[in-house]
Amino acid sequence: MAHRRAIAPRTEEANGFEHFDEAEACRTVELVGRTQDRVIGTQEANAAVAVVDDFDFAEHEPLVQAPAIAFDGQGFVVAWVGQWENTSAICLNAYCTYTSRYDLELAKWGAIDTRQTAAADIAAAKMPLLASDRRGNLMLVWAKPVSSDTFTLAYQRRMGGKWSAIAAIPGGTIAGKNFLTGGVRSPLSMNASGVAAISWGNYDSAGLITTIRLASFH
């Protein structure tokens, strides 16, 4: 038996955003053959595996959030911040941002890549964020320490399997040392056309969020 699902057909793009025709929103498509087997077939799960074993995930400044993960259209990319004994140069005694990609066909993790190449870009002890657009392009965001209670947001875009240069998010200054230890995760979103937005809070001396800020970038 063929299975059906409702979809909202895309009609056009304008100003970087997709628009949908609500009059045709109930049009259906059939999932048949191999597609049906993959989408609606028997549930299956693989055992969890370690991406890397010898990381110091902020021993003195415990990280309270999980690493980031996003789907790039063909595999999964995970990103995290930590100190790795196998690294060298600027990341040897500092927190850096790392990424690794899981190949679905080979069923294994790829090489671990270090995002920082300059001391000015080292990361704060806070897990990064990842988002993807409809083409599988990725946006990676992390915080850089400016002082003990001030941070700035930096980002990289991954297109065609290659990472861009590191850039600062305009106005992306975070105030308050509670940013590191607070359990609130700054939300990151990316639309179908690759425009990203992030929201965060600034903290007062009592550790309370007093200002909410939003930045969009691409």
pLDDT tens sequence across 167-210: 999 899 998 878 887 767 788 999 999 999 999 988 888 888 88
Percent of residues, the chain, with pLDDT higher than 70:
69
β-partners of residue 40 are: none
Q: Judge whether 164 and 180 are in contact, CB under 8 Å.
A: no
Q: What are the start and end residues of each CATH 2.120.10.10 domain in the chain?
A: 62-217
Which DSSP helix (H) or strand (E) runs through 151? strand 150-159
Beta strand pairing call for 68-71 and 75-84: antiparallel
pLDDT, residue 26, reads 30
pLDDT, residue 55, reads 59
- The domain defined by 62-217 folds into Neuraminidase (2.120.10)
Tell the residue number behind the tokens 């999932």, with chain if given: 31
Beta strand pairing call for 162-163 and 75-84: unpaired
Q: Judge whether 140 and 121 are in contact, CB under 8 Å.
A: no
Tell the residue number behind the tokens 């200002």, with chain if given: 211
Angstrom distance (rounded) from CA 94 to CA 17: 39
Angle at 38 between CA 193 and CA 29, to 5 degrees: 65
**pLDDT exceeds 90 at position 27:** no
- Of the pLDDT bands very low, low, confident and very high (cuts 50, 70, 90), residue 52 is low
Q: Could you give the dihedral angle defined by the CA atoms of residues 50, 54, 58 and 64, in that order, rounded to the nearest 10 degrees?
A: 10
Structure tokens at 199: 């929201």
Q: What is the pLDDT of residues 85-99, one digit of tens each?
A: 666 678 878 888 999
Residue 28 C-alpha from the chain's centroid:
32
Angstrom distance (rounded) from CA 176 to CA 64: 17
Residue type, 145: P
Q: Judge whether 130 and 187 are in contact, CB under 8 Å.
A: no
pTM beyond 0.75: no
